[in-house]
Amino acid sequence: MTIAEPQIQVGLLQLLSDRGPAKTSGPSAVARALSANDWRSRIPSVRAVGVSLAHAGEIEVRQQGQVVNPETANAPIRYRLIPRRAD
């Protein structure tokens, strides 16, 4: 079964939201949440969506606790929601 980019986006953001502020999650956890049986094949798609969300300012891509460029980051990476500022 193919999982569309919008489904991955919603799944990634929901997983991070459920984990709470300042918590992180890796691409494999997102892939497992979307497809328990075929999660490994989903990782490239999850990483591509993660890059898009990082460029949109929705999430950070982190490596060893530091924010990194999502285009050049190698595994392992973690995602974290960017806190929303109250206006």
pTM of the model: 0.90
Count of domains for the chain: 1
Range of the domain at 27: 5-81
Does the residue 11 lie in any domain? yes
CATH number for the domain spanning 73: value is 1.10.10.10
Does the residue 86 lie in any domain? no
Does the residue 87 lie in any domain? no
Q: How many CB atoms lie within 10 A of CB 80?
A: 17
Does the residue 22 lie in any domain? yes
Could you list the pLDDT tens digit for every one of the 87 residues in the chain? 678 999 999 999 999 999 998 899 999 999 999 998 999 999 999 999 999 999 999 999 999 999 999 999 987 999 999 987 766
Contact of 73 with 63, CB cutoff 8 Å: yes
